[in-house]
Amino acid sequence: LGGSQKVLEVGGPPFLLPSVQRDKVYDLKTILPRVNGSSDKKSFVIGAGAGPWPRLSRNCE
């Protein structure tokens, strides 16, 4: 990796304990332009994650 790296943590264990907070839903397509300062910049996202449970009406980890 090179260039201008940024580390961003979205969500995480605090939203799972003491119980799951299902109202916390994140869309990386809307978050990344704010981090990059522009929607024109390319981004590479890596890490653990869960699928869009509201669209599937079930857990999709």
Local confidence pLDDT in tens for the 61 residues of the chain: 677 778 888 877 777 788 878 888 888 888 888 888 877 777 778 777 777 778 888 877 7
Domain assignment present for residue 29? The answer is yes
Global pTM exceeds 0.75? no
18: cis peptide before it, omega within 30°?
yes
Domain assignment present for residue 3? The answer is no
| Domain hosting residue 28, numbered range | 13-56
Number of folded domains in the chain? Answer: 1
Domain assignment present for residue 7? The answer is no
Interior/surface letters 25-53, b for 16+ CB within 10 angstroms, e for the rest = eeeeeeebeeeeeeeeeeeeeeeeeeeee
C-alpha–C-alpha distance, residues 50 and 61, integer Å: 4
